[in-house]
Amino acid sequence: MTRRVFAAFLGVLVVLIAAIVVPLGVVGASRQRDDFMAAARTAARSYAALAEEQLGDRGSAAALAQALERAVAPGDRVAVLDGSGRVVAAIGPRPPAGVLQAVRAGRPVPGSENRVTVAIAIGDGTPAGTVVLVRDTAALDRRNGTLWLILGVAALAALALGAATGWLLARWVSRPLRSLVGAAHGIGAGDPGARADPESGPGQVRDVARAFNDMADRVAGVLERQRGMTAEVSHQLRTPLAALRLRLELLADDLSGEARDEVAAMLAETDRLARLVDGLLAVARAEATESSPVPVDVGAVVEERIAAWAPVAAERGIAIEQPRAAPAAPAAALTAGHLEQVLDNLLANSVDAVPAGGTITVTATRDGAQVVLRIDDTGPGMGPEQRARAFDPFTTDRGGRGGTGLGLSIVGRLVAVDHGTATLVERPGGGTRVEIRLRTSPHRAPPTAPVPGGVAS
């Protein structure tokens, strides 16, 4: 926007300067030519007066030539014609033949681009002759060139000053708008504290920034209350659910046959409800978390979580692999504990989705200024519509097989808090690929003790 405002301002400024400078130059050049012509006529009259004195006193042509030579300005060409049109004295080269013929015939003398010609009658009443002055316009051209040079320099100075003013004006207008756009993107990316600058720019833009900040504060308050209510309700539900499960277990000990099977189904539903409550608590915590990035050794965390999940996967006949050929990933800038939770949720999803004999592959590499973490599995995979909605809460492809649809939602939130991205892509050869992109850290990660993860399936 700054460039567009600056370009518009500069375009208007160029047109305005041209509208002032060009007519001013034309008028100035015309006035200088008029002055030049007036000066030539004045000089010609003085030469005519001198010639009148010499001719009136019956002086010789040589005396007239000497008097003119003393009076004529350097560069002027002067010829004195008597009443019959004969040249009786001349200073410098004679005027062109066409000029002399026009004087003898009483016609206006012709001019040219590089000289001016003036013919003045000698004496009052019946003229005793004519003085013809031919003056080169080189001096006029130099004055006009100086005039246009001065106007050009002044125009460039005005343009430079106007351009600097326009750039500052464009930045003054666009800076708060960029702040507003950045705040909107920040809130959209999961930063509830992003706000626009309400103290810079035009008054209308400041009003918009204040209104945006007020709206963001209200929305943040509503979301905070919603998260608090979700966490509180989920917490309050855990105690009665635990009591209900205990009662059902005690009841199952006293039953047999179909009644016992019914109680077992009720226990399964109770477990599913408990997982849902735990997932809601995890989501509420993830939504409330804020970014506090520290250098995290991605490779070390990956190895640790693979070691933790390998026995669980092995019980189901699933192998978890980490290729060693890829270059080691650098440290990433993450909030402590987030990467462990992300990997636990992703590995839990893959273990539940992959059939016996399948494989889960985890790779961590560097891609420019990002750390790329990929989790590939050989499960049934997802269709395009499922992948598009996979990170929405309560979205699951397990049907009634126990999934709550909150695991990927928590993954997306934790990654977004640390300014990363999480996407599901189609895996070559079938299955599912989750790709996590994280910012690299400029510092090395210190050795740390294992951080507990967390799972919401």
pLDDT confidence bin for 31, thresholds 50/70/90: very high
pLDDT over threshold 60, residue 343: yes
DSSP string of 444-457, one letter each residue: PPPP----------
Phi and psi torsions of 377, nearest 5°: -135, 160
pLDDT at 435 > cutoff 50:
yes
CA 438 to chain centre: 24
Say what the pLDDT of residue 47 is: 84
Cβ-proximal residues to 195 (8 Å cutoff; 6+ apart), any chain: 183, 212, 213, 216
Q: Confidence class of residue 317 from pLDDT cuts 50, 70 and 90?
A: very high
Note the CATH number of domain 290-439: 3.30.565.10
Q: DSSP letter string over 172-232?
A: HHHHHHHHHHHHHHHHHTT-TT----SSSS-HHHHHHHHHHHHHHHHHHHHHHHHHHHHHH
Cα pseudo-dihedral 394, 398, 399, 404, rounded to 10: -30
- Does the structural domain 2-141 have CATH classification 3.30.450.20? yes
- What DSSP element (H or E) covers 416? helix 407-417
Identify the CATH assignment for 203-286 out of 1.10.1380.10, 1.10.287.130, 1.10.3720.10, 1.10.760.10: 1.10.287.130
Q: What is the pLDDT of residues 222-254, one digit of tens each?
A: 777 776 776 677 667 777 888 888 888 888 877
| 84-94: pLDDT as tens digits | 778 888 888 87
Q: Which amino acid is at 254?
A: D
Among 23-27, 29-33, 365-369, the minimum mean pLDDT is found in 365-369
- Closest of 154, 147, 156 to residue 26, by C-alpha: 147
Q: What is the pLDDT of residue 210?
A: 87
List the domain boundaries for the chain.
Answer: 2-141, 203-286, 290-439
What is the predicted pLDDT for the residue at 400? Answer: 45
Instruction: Tell me the pLDDT tens digit for each residue of 196-230.
Output: 888 877 788 888 888 888 888 888 787 777 767 76
CA distance 30 to 444: 76
Range of weakest confidence among 205-209, 287-291, 390-394 = 287-291
Q: What is the pLDDT of residue 170?
A: 78
User: Residue 326: what pLDDT?
Assistant: 56
* pLDDT tens digit sequence for 98-132: 888 888 877 888 777 788 888 888 877 777 788 88
pLDDT at 349: 86
More confident residue, 389 or 355: 355
Looking at residue 153, what is its pLDDT?
92
The larger pLDDT score, comparing residue 4 to residue 189, is at 4
Q: Which of 333, 367, 360, 332 is nearest to 434 (CA)?
A: 360
**Average pLDDT taken over every residue of the chain:** 81
pTM attached to this predicted model: 0.49
Write out pLDDT tens, residues 35-81: 988 998 898 888 888 888 776 656 667 777 777 878 888 888 888 88
Encoded tokens for 143: 């004055």
Higher pLDDT, 68 or 394: 68
Residue 448 has pLDDT above 70, yes or no: no
